[in-house]
Chains A and B, each alone.
Chain A
Amino acid sequence: MNAPIIQQQSVGSSTVPSVRVKSQYWKRAFPYYFMILPGLLYLLIFRYAPMFGLFIAFKKYSPFQGVWGSEWVGFDHFVRLFTESDFLLLLKNTLILNLLDVLVAFPFPILIAVLLNEVGRKYWKNSIQTIMYAPHFLSWVVIVGITMLLFRTQDGGINALLGSLGLNRIELMTDPHYFRFVWLFHNIWQGAGWGAIIYLASIASIDPALYEAARVDGASRLRQILHITLPSLKTIILIMLILRLGNFIDVGFEHVFLLQNPLNLEVSDVFETYIYRQGLVQGDFSYVTAVGLFKSVVGLVMVVSANAIAKRFGEEGVY
């Protein structure tokens, strides 16, 4: 991490305003700014520039009349979205999935990081960590495919076995009651190990003297976790939580789409799959841009309010 160096420099430059020092500062800082450049360009080109296209949410966009030639329709698309018969269902499904994710999946990486920190042998710690974050590199197609192979009702491996033993088959893929569980389980299995990395890094930066002092005072391991590790992680946990809340209305298209089938639609239909149907299947670009814009606005509101709440409780927040 090169972050501490930047910090020192910014402190230095703010105290001495003379021109010579300033130019010296630029000379030293230039490489770092230069290193930021690709990321900055990426943001500008792929994240900011497309935002200008957002105004087609207020037009009846036709690819052949072009962005400028299409007719203005005002808030028609938003009115349509809010009066859509499925709107409440989409909102409900999206929020329930996210709530489950924040309540159940979000703490997992923290738990893993804290527990890994207690593993004494480095060899063990590293191998466990590697095994746990490996699923991160599997795509949803593979993960859902494996689940299908194991749990298809008729010929899935586990169900075929259950069937041949005369037991009831588990309709994991088609029974809507299982959908949220499967989705959540996948999320944890795939993401928890990877998510733990940032917490492990924070734990590594905790001053060992704190632990030594605690041990001298006779604090048990649990006490050390409760009073040293977790409090030190508080800021990073909050930041991660605020960022997570910004995605509170995002579910991620691919995963849900792959798990979706006509039998679990009532719990699996979310904004992303709706956008897919309306936008790519029906080609209604303006309308789905409006849906996307609505989602972004909700995300922004979530982040701003979460940040405000964090600040009220004396934390730093993300900005």
Chain B
Amino acid sequence: MKKSLKALAGSFLALSLIVGCSNGNNGGNADQGKAGTASEPAKNEERLPITIAVQYWSGPKWTEDHPTIKYLEEKFNVDITLQLINGSEYGEKMKVMAASGSLPDFYRADSPETYLAWQSEGAFVELSELLPKYPNLIKAFPLDHEANRLLNPEGKIYGLPDISWTVRDTIQIRKDWLDNLGMKLPSEDEFTVDKYYEIAKAFATKDPDKNGVAGDTYGIIGLDSVIQNAFGIANGWFEKDGKLLPKQTQVEEYKAYLSFMKKAYDEGVLDRDFVLRKSSDLDDMKRGNKAGIYSHHNDLTGYEDSVKKAFPDTKPELVPMAPPIGPTGIRAYSAYLTGMNKQVINAKASPEKVDRILQILDWWVTDEGTTIMKSGLEGIDYTKKADGSYEPTAQWETNFPRYLNSSIFARPGVDFNMYLWTPQEDKDFLASYKALAEKYTLKDAAAGLTFYSDTYKNKSADLSKNFDEAMSKIIVGSEPIEYIEQASKEWLANGGDKIIQEINAAAVK
């Protein structure tokens, strides 16, 4: 008995001792793309397999026999394999794929950091010489476009930028909830952070959803950057006396903001579990008629429909708002940097494959291509009626061709959810929404520079984790407001000072 136990124990021991790590394979040939020749695009004699990674957020999972995919396969004589990756796991998955040498042929770099790091290691096909051979593509993504210059070395292009919203998310309020409480929707000039607070407080403590229970709805859900902006906190970096400084140095602004949020927490206006909520939880609250004031993207009708479906008695009406005005009169939505997200082609792809992918994209950016990629195929996803108008079929809902468009690739613009049959009023709404969202914007003064700081690359995740930790602690009251001074000092001492130096050095260049 004892001996056998020994044997048993020995194998347990061996099992428990070992650390695993995966072998990356050699390879990654940066120069292969150069050889790519765009011969006459019509002749695609050899059928090529192409793998595409798709960051996947919602909707049904596309199968291999999806009509639009089949259409692409026939048109370009390729075999497309879609690798669907769960949205929130995309970044991790990409790094694991890189380590195991199994990156797809065409994918989106998961972050600007990754894009820069992998670019310098020769992971992507360089496109500056190839693009001009594709007339539609070069028109959509001119070589000297601001988005094409961002994150690329001078004269080189390693990925196609995603050019769409500068500001996508706005604060949105359930007007029907306000009506239920007898409150008025504030006008643009009336919408201050105090008004925001007042509305959120009413939503959190009264009964805006008229279900007879007061206080089972939420006020402020999550910490929102637009509120920080109202208190003067920068969108990443700001310029002062010719020097670039990060928001973590804005101690006074943070104190004002944190006092505001702490009061919200103490009075039950801020969701008491805000640190525990994942984005999917927030989504459930919005769709589940539990929250009525929040930041959200332009698909207002989709969310109204969700609420309506679950609660047929409600008449949900979401109204997008201009950013709230802070105590010193500042108001702004943080602007995205156009060109931060890049679609890349794997440097390991053969020249023929690179050509085939670029052919597909060249077609994709045309009106014909985009229409098919968004609205689907005539006779399958929609029908043309006698009067020339279009109507989606029942299959359109289940095929979800529209998500293929923005998930894999999209031509520049914000009209990716405007279909053949979208009524004019919706198109007008999109235009007005865009105008509202982009009316007051705040740019990052160090736009794109942070990635040239090695310290930033190595330390930023840990540093911002500590800073966020301090913010959460102050809001829930386990540390006093002044604690932010200490957090700011620690941020600087543990690498922040070095980041500031490196970024200012990069800015001079």
Contacts of A107 in B (CB 8 A): none
B24 is an interface residue with CB less than 8 A from chain A: yes
Are A266 and B21 in contact, CB atoms less than 8 angstroms apart?
no
Interface-facing stretch out of A3-11, A16-24, A110-118:
A3-11
Q: Chain A contact residues: over half helix, strand or loop, or mixed?
A: helix
Pick the contact of A63: B6, B7, B28, B273 (CB < 8 A).
B28
- A249 CA / B457 CA spacing, docked (Å): 27
Pick the contact of A61: B9, B24, B473 (CB < 8 A).
B24
Interface-facing stretch out of A48-56, A120-128, A186-194, A221-229:
A48-56
B123 is an interface residue with CB less than 8 A from chain A: yes
Pick the contact of B275: A3, A68, A263 (CB < 8 A).
A263
Contacts of A86 in B (CB 8 A): 462
Interface residues on B, range: 35 or more
Q: Chain B contact residues: over half helix, strand or loop, or mixed?
A: helix
Are B10 and A300 in contact, CB atoms less than 8 angstroms apart?
no
- A266 CA / B483 CA spacing, docked (Å): 15
Are B13 and A243 in contact, CB atoms less than 8 angstroms apart?
yes
- A103 CA / B9 CA spacing, docked (Å): 21
Are B473 and A43 in contact, CB atoms less than 8 angstroms apart?
no
Pick the contact of A318: B4, B13, B461, B476 (CB < 8 A).
B13
Q: Would A43 and B276 be within 8 Å (CB), given that A265-B469, A289-B21 are in contact?
A: no
Are B476 and A263 in contact, CB atoms less than 8 angstroms apart?
yes
- Proximity string of chain B (20-50) to chain A, C-beta cutoff 8 Å, 1 when within and 0 when not: 1111111110000000000000000000000
B96 is an interface residue with CB less than 8 A from chain A: yes
Q: How far is the CB of B97 from chain A (nearest CB, A)?
A: 9
Tell me the nearest residue of chain B to A246, going by C-beta. Answer: B16
Q: How far is the CB of B196 from chain A (nearest CB, A)?
A: 20
- A53 CA / B101 CA spacing, docked (Å): 14
Interface-facing stretch out of A135-143, A210-218, A278-286:
A278-286
Are B23 and A52 in contact, CB atoms less than 8 angstroms apart?
yes
Q: Would A154 and B26 be within 8 Å (CB), given that A1-B4, A281-B92, A299-B16 are in contact?
A: no
Contacts of A246 in B (CB 8 A): 13, 16-17
Contacts of B494 in A (CB 8 A): 85
Are B468 and A262 in contact, CB atoms less than 8 angstroms apart?
yes
- A107 CA / B294 CA spacing, docked (Å): 49
Contacts of A67 in B (CB 8 A): 23-26
Q: Can you name 20 extra interface pairs (CB under 8 A) apart from A63-B123, A243-B13? A: A1-B4, A3-B1, A7-B3, A50-B23, A51-B18, A63-B28, A64-B347, A65-B121, A66-B26, A235-B2, A247-B16, A261-B276, A263-B469, A282-B461, A285-B21, A289-B21, A299-B17, A318-B6, A319-B9, A319-B13
The 10 sampled A-B contact pairs (Cβ below 8 Å) are A43-B14, A50-B21, A63-B28, A68-B26, A153-B272, A235-B5, A262-B472, A292-B21, A316-B2, A319-B6
Residues of A within 8 A of B (CB): 1, 3-4, 6-7, 39, 43, 46-48, 50-54, 56, 61-69, 85-86, 148, 152-156, 169, 173-174, 176, 205, 235-236, 239, 242-243, 246-247, 261-263, 265-266, 277-285, 289, 292-293, 295-296, 299-300, 303, 316, 318-319
In the A-B complex, the 10 residue pairs with the smallest Cβ-Cβ separation, listed nearest first, are A3-B4, A64-B28, A66-B26, A63-B98, A64-B121, A154-B272, A262-B472, A292-B19, A153-B272, A280-B92
